[in-house]
Amino acid sequence: MSRPPHRRSTGRTISHLGGALILLAGVWGFGLFRYADMIPVEVSNPGVHTDAIVVLTGGSGRLDEGLKLLEEGSADLLFISGVYQGVDMRNLLEAYRRNPQDLNCCVSIGHAEDTIANATETRDWVREHDVKSVRLVTSGYHMPRSVLEFSYALPEVTLIQHPVFPAHVKQQNWWAWPGTTGLIVGEYNKFMLAWVRHKFMGLTK
């Protein structure tokens, strides 16, 4: 006894939907591993001097690295993007055991709350200070999305990636570490949303 036509149609629809979901999951998984390969594992141009250093706050070791680079003469200016509202430069530098009087001439801060705003407030600061090259300091796992946003906001500026590597992020065999896996999956999803926004919508927010 054959099934009624509407049941056969429903079955085909479910089968097609299941196949499409499996295909999408496969494409997403392939993209995830491609994204993981984009995460830098070292600083590629440590000796190149730039007009400015830009540090994106939000991860361990980033600001310390930026201050060290400034003190070593890797750039003449430092912009710290993403400082908490209510924290001024003096408080920030004192918290990192630096003398504000020594760095007052060279350090500026911004209060962006996400990576998109990091890029836009840096764009405004860069144009105000006639900066043509930037050493971008952020965590390695955050670098691909940061470069995407900064390249879109600052196409005329040369970007040099300067990743830092928090001890709790296990980049080697990352899929074996649940915490790192969750971090990279979250960054990958945000990266894809940013890519779609820039590619198809031309929006900055």
**63-74: per-residue pLDDT in tens?**
999 999 999 999
Whole-angstrom Cα distance, residue 115 to residue 34? 21
Find the angle CA(13)-CA(14)-CA(16) to the nearest 5 degrees. Answer: 65
Which CATH number fits the domain 50-168, given the four candidates 3.30.300.280, 3.30.565.10, 3.40.50.620, 3.40.50.920? 3.40.50.620
**29-39: per-residue pLDDT in tens?**
888 989 999 99
Domain boundary assignment for the chain: 50-168
pLDDT at residue 145, as a whole number:
96
pLDDT at residue 204, as a whole number:
47
The parts of the chain modelled with pLDDT lower than 50 are 1, 204-205
State pTM to two decimals: 0.83
| Whole-number CA gyration radius for the chain | 22
pLDDT at residue 52, as a whole number:
97
pLDDT at residue 59, as a whole number:
80
pLDDT at residue 141, as a whole number:
94
pLDDT at residue 205, as a whole number:
44
| Maximal C-alpha separation, the chain | 89
